[in-house]
Structure 1
């Protein structure tokens, strides 16, 4: 029997899920409704269903009619791709109304909301899945395999550097993510992927977190140092923005225009705010130290304004070292062709045995985003899951543990003190 789905939040990330659902999983799944706070965006999502995917338009509900949608459509599963700070609201209400939930990462943005979700799962007995597609990327799965198979022995330390370039990184400072109340900052919104990978690779959980960092490149306080002397609030309609390499032109991009510019009349949301304007309170330069339950340590950094996109990692073990270098295709969310996210430009996995010659590990890439990882994730969600020796499907506990590293990091940034994960949330295990 087909499972029925509804989707809440039809912004930039939503089509990744609903497009695949109606295109690739018609035998197992049925999309029956959209829900969003903005009717223009709802209508555009329906237009994409008809024009791009050649399927019929579905029912739409504004956010204040969420309960009505569940009662009328009787879905099995609610897909949550709304603004991060609202994830908990829809997840919890879906569970209370008898549905399971699939949520885009991060599961939520702070400890209180995390606890509320955990409590709702305990209370209702329903299920929540978190969509960590990075786990499914072949090179990330291969790293897990190498560590599992004891190739470098017990991993004692990891050095993990993530680079966002001035196209992708800047985009977080144009959008709603620039307000930490909405996104939890990059330590939660973006780094949840990376902290989850370390948990996945090492098969352990974080114990203590200490973080430093700040807003050191973007924001009005850094404008003079960047040579910015002419200010604007948003790019649309601004002559100053025409000379700003950090500005985006939504008018010339049909997708951005339809999804955001044409929808402004309903909610006033500006997708193209100046990265050197007021109102930015998230960090662009971050360093984190984490100690894990298995005594491994992590040194992690994220910078959102670099000339390249990707990551470098070193795993130091009792039998040797693994070095990983990955360059990714940069992109603007909703600004390009679907699948741009996570496209690999180059990758290297190098094993350096303690005694022996170093060698490179070959990884087979497949079709689809993240080296073929995205289709595997989507099949796990909407199709008929295959037996997976790596157990990449992420539960609500995985989702909680990954964001709690970032949440602890935010608390450490605020207090200057190290934070223990166990003091934040009761995972009820």
Structure 2
């Protein structure tokens, strides 16, 4: 039975903590966070007494608790520090996406992985969503021929989208911006669906809706009431006095350095072109993906749970295939599963050793983490410079072959 530690005890850690505490194949042996309240809250929820350590004691914790696997759920800009330290201490790593937020972090992680031979896994749970798996099966089978282009539009509604502007994610030097933090999921999906990574990237976008200059157009419906949620109150409101972290910042206050509306063109290796758009202030929540091929078109339309309206309705996915000169065929039209469309449960089973065979290659390693990151980093550089960015340029800085 492999011994696991979780570093970073915010909301996302709940997924891993619950799975580990209830697993017959893995053991949760340590927590690490600078906030003791959050570690105590997780133990209360789980009914456990997992020992807690502060970040300055991370290395000592790994040795004392004989940790085999470290699960990294800390703020994105700190991922590289913990991943590298864990690898060099002889541990394997599971990290929340993104793997890291910048070129330097990628260079350090990849160097440590080569030096130690230990594994880095990235938690790309959307790969495990059954609907996304069906898309991969159809594309791999050549159901619409050779792929020429992909259109991908992701809509975050005015509750979900706004939440990235209340938290530390609003600062690009901590999150990499939405193109690294959020879109990393989407870029990874496209890489996985196509079986190839990015080659050149161009991006346009900016801060249109949130931020202090845009606040005059809106009212206080964007305020978040931590007291109304027992989970958020316990993890954040009651923990504020320890570290001063404010979970519910004003989305229209100064200090926002990320974009909320971005368009990205990506030329993939092999020639496929991705046209991607992320919109973080939509009245609805969901996404649309369309693949144009030499013999037809495959379209996925997903309406996710509505965060803004809190309707309680389950999300729904519709996948349609239309071959040239033939009528459209509905491949599936069904409700989404819980937890990223059912992806969370399947990903956790795989990570904890309970998975079925993986013929579609859902498991994402350090290279998958790098390929998704490269698109986001190149897009950010394109936004900054106004030019088309070659991925080879970034790989040279990281020290990896193009």
Normalising by structure 1, we get a TM-score of 0.90
Residue pair 1:209, 1:418 contacting (<8 A) in 2 also: yes
Partner of 1:21: 20
Bigger mean CA deviation after superposition, 151-160 or 252-261? 252-261
Residues 122-271 of structure 1 mapped to structure 2, 5 A cutoff: 122-224=114-216, 226-228=217-219, 244-271=220-247
Residue pair 2:32, 2:54 contacting (<8 A) in 1 also: yes
Pick from 332, 352, 365: which aligns with 1:382? 352
1:227 Cα offset (Å): 4.1
1:21 Cα offset (Å): 1.6
Partner of 1:32: 29
1:261 Cα offset (Å): 0.9
Residue pair 2:122, 2:364 contacting (<8 A) in 1 also: yes
Distance 1:317-1:22 versus aligned 2 partners, 3 A rule = same
Residue pair 2:157, 2:307 contacting (<8 A) in 1 also: no
Which whole-Å CA distance do the structure 2 matches of 1:268 and 1:310 have between them?
Answer: 34
Which whole-Å CA distance do the structure 2 matches of 1:292 and 1:370 have between them?
Answer: 26
Distance 1:395-1:74 versus aligned 2 partners, 3 A rule = same
Which whole-Å CA distance do the structure 1 matches of 2:223 and 2:140 have between them?
Answer: 44
SS at match of 2:208: coil
Which whole-Å CA distance do the structure 2 matches of 1:253 and 1:376 have between them?
Answer: 27
1:331 Cα offset (Å): 4.0
Partner of 1:296: 272
Which whole-Å CA distance do the structure 1 matches of 2:401 and 2:338 have between them?
Answer: 37
Residue pair 2:290, 2:298 contacting (<8 A) in 1 also: yes
Which whole-Å CA distance do the structure 2 matches of 1:288 and 1:379 have between them?
Answer: 33
Bigger mean CA deviation after superposition, 279-288 or 374-383? 374-383
1:169 Cα offset (Å): 0.3
SS at match of 2:223: coil
SS at match of 2:118: coil
Partner of 1:233: none
Partner of 1:240: none
Which whole-Å CA distance do the structure 2 matches of 1:368 and 1:382 have between them?
Answer: 19
Partner of 1:307: 283
Normalising by structure 2, we get a TM-score of 0.96
Stretches of structure 2 that go unaligned for 5 or more consecutive residues are: none
Which whole-Å CA distance do the structure 1 matches of 2:335 and 2:209 have between them?
Answer: 35
Bigger mean CA deviation after superposition, 369-378 or 83-92? 369-378
Which whole-Å CA distance do the structure 2 matches of 1:227 and 1:84 have between them?
Answer: 29
Distance 1:57-1:292 versus aligned 2 partners, 3 A rule = same
Which whole-Å CA distance do the structure 1 matches of 2:337 and 2:218 have between them?
Answer: 42
Partner of 1:66: 58
Which whole-Å CA distance do the structure 2 matches of 1:427 and 1:102 have between them?
Answer: 22
Report the aligned-residue RMSD. 1.7
